[in-house]
Amino acid sequence: MYYRQVKDMVKEALFGKTLKELQEIVKELGFPAFTAKQIADWLYKKKVNSIDDMLNLSKKNREILNKAYHVGLSPFDNVQESIDGTRKYLFRTSTQKFIEAAYIPSENRKTLCVSSQVGCKMGCLFCMTGKQGFQKNLTAGEILNQMVSIDERDVLTNLVYMGMGEPMDNIDEVLKSLEIITSDWGFAWSPRRINVSTIGVVPAMRRFIEESECHLAISMHSPYNDQRKELMPIENVYPIEAVIETLKEYDFGRQRRISFEYIMFEKVNDSTEHAKELVRLVDGLKSRVNLIKFHPIPDTPLTGSKHKTMEAFKEVLEKKGIIATIRKSRGEDIYAACGLLSTKKLLKEDKEKDF
């Protein structure tokens, strides 16, 4: 009977708990208060994968902890490497869905792009994740697992929340994961090494600005309301002007960066008029613009702008004093477009189930 109870009990993950949550756990279990900090050290500094490895906890306390908890890291399911060095990791979640993380090395940075949700409910026209629909919010532990369960975990210099999902639609867990990464008792990263993207969900974006110090990237993709509504349905709820007006209310200081992401679609949003309207829109807000080449995805009429057009667009912005960069396309040969790999895997497994 006892064996069955223990066997059937689902153990809770310690990885992804804040120091405050660990303090509550150790208090409940009757451990000395200082063990919370010791457990945080094993989880976030030494990155162990088993409670038995937490050697400065007494054997008895490890046994007690083991009964209801486990560390809770999960290995990646698959990895694909691009000829340009980008590595795309696929993780299976507890609900048998898939999420992706992309490791993107460059000369002076080793960046990891993480997912915050399985699927997404925002339905942007150009996005493969949007086509999956929404499946689930990731927990802070599942977000951070992408950072520590990859081969390059010890060389990462930067982190971007630009994978699957809209981070502001899962703001509680995203903020919790950021607290763990940036706290002294956690990974102790500077918030300046982290960039979180949003399509502009204003109330959650306010919380992010007020409760974290990380950089913020706004996906704009068109300065015109009607066109943006077609590309990104969120425009119906929070127009881009409202997003920009909200940003103008805050003082971001010298260190904190606001950027606009602008995916360039051929003959859709890449004209000189678009560039001029973009300049008008961001006037008075200290920010920069990243122009991104579109990775074509199946079943969409959109194609990526030519490099020449992107250069001309950039020039218009720069002439008006806006810092603009053209982002290199990375990992095209392994479907680095967010959501494509996991959608393929889902479809493959669904097909296999049908037989």
Nearer to ligand SF4, 129 or 343 (CB): 129
Please pick, from the candidates 51, 102, 122, 310, the single residue that binds ligand SF4 as defined by CB under 6 A. 122
Please pick, from the candidates 13, 199, 216, 322, the single residue that binds ligand SF4 as defined by CB under 6 A. 199
Nearer to ligand SF4, 165 or 223 (CB): 165
Question: What contacts 186, CB < 8 A, 6 or more positions away?
Answer: 19, 40, 44, 179, 180
Please pick, from the candidates 129, 177, 222, 287, the single residue that binds ligand SF4 as defined by CB under 6 A. 129
Nearer to ligand SF4, 71 or 164 (CB): 164
DSSP E strands in 106-199: the ranges are 110-113, 117-119, 134-137, 158-161, 194-198
Query: How big is the site for ligand SF4, counted in residues (CB under 6 A)?
Result: 11
Nearer to ligand SF4, 76 or 294 (CB): 294
Measured from each CB, the residue nearest to ligand SF4 is 130
Closest CA to 85 of 352, 331, 311: 331
Q: Where are the alpha helices (DSSP H) in 54-201?
A: 59-68, 128-132, 140-148, 171-182
Amino acid at 271: S
Which candidate in 113, 120, 127, 338 is catalytic? 338
Nearest approach in angstroms of CB 156 to ligand SF4 is: 22
Closest CA to 163 of 205, 130, 201: 130
Please pick, from the candidates 120, 217, 240, 243, the single residue that binds ligand SF4 as defined by CB under 6 A. 120
Binding to ligand SF4 by CB under 6 A, coded x per residue (else -) over 156-185, reads --------xxx-------------------
CA–CA dist 89, 99 (Å, integer): 8
Nearer to ligand SF4, 39 or 168 (CB): 168
127 binds ligand SF4 (CB under 6 A): yes
Determine the 3-state secondary structure of 195 from DSSP. strand
Residue 57 burial by Cβ neighbours in a 10 Å radius (0-12, 13-18, 19+): buried
Nearest approach in angstroms of CB 31 to ligand SF4 is: 41
Please pick, from the candidates 124, 205, 289, 322, the single residue that binds ligand SF4 as defined by CB under 6 A. 124
Nearer to ligand SF4, 105 or 200 (CB): 200
Residue 353 burial by Cβ neighbours in a 10 Å radius (0-12, 13-18, 19+): exposed
Nearest approach in angstroms of CB 290 to ligand SF4 is: 14
Check if 127 is active-site: no
Nearest approach in angstroms of CB 71 to ligand SF4 is: 29
Residue with tokens 């002439």: 319
Check if 338 is active-site: yes
Within residues 55-114, the interface with ligand SF4 by CB under 6 A covers: none
Of 38-46, 117-125, 250-258, 266-274: span binding ligand SF4 (CB under 6 A): 117-125
CA–CA dist 168, 170 (Å, integer): 5
Which candidate in 28, 100, 266, 349 is catalytic? 100
Residue 202: its H or E element: helix 202-211
Q: Which DSSP string corresponds to 296-340? A: P-TT----BPPHHHHHHHHHHHHHTT-EEEEEPP--GGGT-STTH
Give one word for 299, left, alpha or beta, with left for phi > 0 and alpha for psi -120 to 50: left
Q: Active-site residues: which are they? A: 100, 338
Interacting residues with ligand SF4 (CB under 6 A): 120, 122-124, 127, 129-130, 164-166, 199
